[in-house]
Structure 1
């Protein structure tokens, strides 16, 4: 496979080199695009051929088989895999690591994160799992550890633990999904973490799909942040890969790609972990979403504006 070389950078004080773009892999799964294993695996290979050597996944995404397929055509030592789990005990951490190694058919995981950590208190509560990951790191089964977070306090917590190498926070121009502050608050704390040598790769640059209408501005906002090493963005097709590569290189989407992407039929989805708080219903001026049987459900009035997601405390509403 001929591979285009995008500029890579070391992820903080780790020795892991990553492309500026990270392949967000939730979008290829049955939860969203529902690609077959072969389709998803080939798309990952295509992204790698265009210079994207970094993929983000999680145990809960249930998509290790896609990445395993892709690895058949990729140099493992040149490809960076980040995964996440909710472990809080040694046994849970061990099970999560063994599952990832087995299902990915690999000897090591580059980055293992604790998923959706909220603050220094949740990290404390999960520290038994961190201790296990540290031992696994010493054995060469993990190269770096850290957390993902939707909160400013989560990034702050990473600055208080020398043993945490990497943080994966929400960063987008509208602050969509940040649960305890503004985008400026988030930028301030990630700058501190960056200056301490933490590896930082952002998530949700398009706000879970809600900034697609402003894609160039939203993408360029995150790409211009000087204190992140990479950022993950979901990709479901070769056109989306090409679009993101073009944005990275020029800040603009070529007209032919714009036309192709306009034809894609998008929809609003609500994750199963919706708590039926009703904030989305109150926000929607189109009466396009309602609570049915304990869950928010979009209806025929939905115009895919995405405003409802801005007031979802659980960040469970997405446009795909």
Structure 2
């Protein structure tokens, strides 16, 4: 697998990052053991880094998968606001992953300079952790153009993980063209960029080659996070990334079916899912209602629901 360098001073990693949301309890598509098996298979194929987050609740699963793969790097993220909260998040990750030094740690879902200002305590704690050698590289994830632009100017930032796909699906504050300009701005500053949601939360899977080719055509993007939940999906995606022919038999195995957010009829209309949705795709009428065009199937709403009403099917 082709190796890339994340920005001017970042890590050398495989072009594909394993997006572990697809094997986490947050989406519930696999058992923990099945997820470990898929992760280990991906490592054997040359994928050498994993994207996760505190909210995914899968540190133990990842720890089991990397037990005999010390070379694998891990990106995690948290919503921490204060220094104290960030310190707790870092120690939780170090303990659960059984690693004294974390490879990457990001502020999760930053939207603008204002959002970053509100998380300044957490960011300064990340910087201190980097100085102490607790974390090697720090950064942000974002669904916003202004998040990319403001993040690029943060002192000490190494990497940005933005939403990006050829239709601009999921960008919360502007157009695809504006996002590309923001990414170019960050990249020119030497910041590492790896893209998320390149299939638009499943909306663009009918032409996966187009989705991948679009990302690979952008000079400022070095890596791609891909969610995979089977060995066949690993094989399929790696063939696409490498520009090779995908056998018909493999295409049939991973035929991308339509997926959607299911809302159970026992919804209590509490609104916690609406607050948790980064896309503004949910609203409350008599019960929670989803705008399928806006939903990117991240599953964050399901984690927020106290009555377990929401899941991706």
Q: Would you call these one fold, judging by a TM-score over 0.5?
A: yes
- SS of match in other structure, 2:130: helix
Task: Tell me, yes or no, if structure 1 residue 32 matches structure 2 residue 27.
Answer: yes
Q: 1:120 to 1:314 in 2, by over 3 A?
A: farther
C-alpha contact 2:201 2:295 (8 A) present in aligned 1: no
SS of residue paired to 2:93: helix
1:159 Cα deviation (Å)?
2.2
Bigger mean CA offset, 47-56 vs 10-19 = 10-19
Which structure 1 residue ranges, 4+ long, deviate > 4 Å from structure 2? 290-293, 312-320
Pick closer, same or farther for the CA change 1:177–1:44 going to 2, 3 Å: same
Cα RMSD (Å): 2.6
**Structure 2 residues without counterparts, runs of 5 or longer:** 264-271, 302-310
What residue is the counterpart of 1:106 in the other structure? 99
Q: What's the CA shift for 1:206?
A: 0.3
Q: Distance in 1 between matches of 2:117 and 2:284?
A: 36
Matches within 5 A, 1:131-146: 131-146=124-139
Given that residues 54 and 81 in structure 1 are in contact (C-alpha distance below 8 angstroms), is that contact kept between their aligned partners in structure 2?
Answer: yes
Q: Does 1:260 pair with 2:260? A: no
Give the C-alpha shift of residue 315 in structure 1: 7.0
Counting only pairs closer than 5 Å after superposition, residues 168-207 of structure 1 correspond to structure 2 as: 168-207=161-200
- Secondary structure of the residue aligned to 1:168 is strand
| Matches for 1:30-179 after TM superposition, within 5 Å | 30-74=25-69, 76=70, 78-179=71-172
Does the aligned pair in 1 maintain the 2:261–2:297 contact within 8 Å?
A: no
Instruction: Indicate whether 1:269 and 2:232 are aligned.
Output: no
Q: Aligned partners of 1:85, 1:220: CA distance in 2, in Å? A: 30
Q: Is the 8 A contact 1:246 1:254 kept in 2?
A: no
TM-score by length of 2: 0.86
Question: 2: CA distance between counterparts of 1:168 and 1:186?
Answer: 12
The reply on whether 1:223 has 2:206 as its aligned counterpart is no
Question: Contact conserved, 1:275 with 1:294, CA < 8 A, in 2?
Answer: no
Q: Secondary structure at the match of 1:22?
A: strand
Supply the distance in 2 between the matched residues of 1:270 and 1:154 (Cα, whole angstroms).
30
* Offset, 1:258: 0.8
Greater displacement, 264-273 / 159-168? 264-273
How many residues end up aligned between the 2 structures? 293
C-alpha offsets along residues 111-166 of structure 1, whole Å, 9 cap, x if unaligned?
A: 11000101111111111111111111111110011110000000000222231111
Instruction: Please state how far the C-alpha of 1:274 moved relative to its aligned partner.
Output: 3.3
1:13 to 8, 11, 16: 8
| 1:8-57 Cα shifts (integer Å, max 9, x gaps) | 12211334111111111011122324322222112111111111111100
Q: Is the 8 A contact 2:201 2:297 kept in 1?
A: no
TM-score scaled by length of structure 1: 0.84
Where 2:273 maps in the other structure, the secondary structure is coil
Residue 259 of structure 1, CA deviation: 1.1
Unaligned residue ranges in structure 1 (runs of 5+): 1-5, 282-289, 298-307
Deviation at 1:73, TM superposition (A): 2.3
Q: Deviations over 1:79-137 (max 9, x none)?
A: 11100001111110010000001111111111110001011111111111111111111
The aligned residue for residue 241 of structure 1 is 234
The correspondence for 1:310, drawn from 289, 293, 296, is 293
Name the structure 1 match of 2:202: 209
